[in-house]
Amino acid sequence: MHERSGLNSDPARSPAAVDSTTERILAATLQVYTEAGFRGTTTRRIAQEAGVNEITLFRQFGTKEALVKAALSRTYEAVFPADLNEPVDPQAELYQWAIATYRHWYAARHLISKVLGDLVEHPELAPDICEEPSCKHAMLSGFLDRLRQRGLATGEFNPDAAAGMLLGSVFTHAIWRDHFAKPDLPPPEEVVRHYVQLLLASVGFRQPHAKARKEKA
C-alpha cells in the first residue's frame, strides 16, 4: 500500500457523487483483483481505473484489505437469478436452480479462483458464513427438507449433507470445466441434469402425481 503523504485531496462531493465514486472504486477493485489477485492489486492501479486519487480510497476504506473485502462482499451479496420455493415440480425446479447456480459460478470462475488462491495468506477475503434463508446452501437444504415433509423424499438423509453434495459437484464443474475441456465432454446442461438426478435418487425422491402438481400450482 502506498504512503498517504504527497497525495492530493479530492474536492468536496455531493452524496450522489460519493455514491457514484464508491461504485466506480468497487468495480475497479473487482476488475484489478480478478486480473492480478491480492498480491498484484495495488491502490495506485485501482485509483487509476476508477479515475480518483488514492487518498479517496484510504478515506473510504482505510486499507487495501478492507477495500478488496468490500468489493468481494458485493459479489457475495448479489441477487441470485433463481429461487427454490414450495415444490410443485421438484425435478424441473431443482434443475433450473442448479443450472442457474452453475452459470452464476462459471461466469465468476476467474474471480473465484483468485479468492481460493489467496485464502491461505488472506483468510479475511472469504465470504462471511451465510445466513438463512438467503444463501444457496440454506436454500437448497430447506427445499430438500420440504420434499421430505411432503413425503416426496423417503430416503434416510441429512438435508445439509445432501445439499452440500450437489453444490460441491456443481461448484467443482463450474471452476474446473475449462481445464478439462475435450471433444467428448458433455455440455454443462447435461452434466448438471445428471447431478440433480443423482441427488434426487439419493434422497429417495418420488415424483408427485400430475393432479397433485396442478392443485399445488
Name every residue whose Cβ is closer than 8 Å to that of residue 15 and which is 6 or more positions away in sequence.
Answer: none
Mean pLDDT, range 2-7, rounded to an integer: 32
Does an H or E element contain 48, and which?
A: helix 43-50
List the one residue out of 75, 29, 72, 71 whose CA is nearest residue 50. Answer: 29
> Of 22-36, 76-90, 124-138, 159-173, which range is least confident?
124-138
Predicted confidence band of residue 115 (pLDDT cuts 50, 70, 90)? very high
Burial label for 191, CB within 10 Å (0-12, 13-18, 19+), is: middle
Tell me the whole-structure pTM to 2 decimals. Answer: 0.79
DSSP 8-class letter at 153: B
> Of 127-136, 164-173, 187-196, which range is least confident?
127-136
The cell 478488496 sits on which residue?
Answer: 68
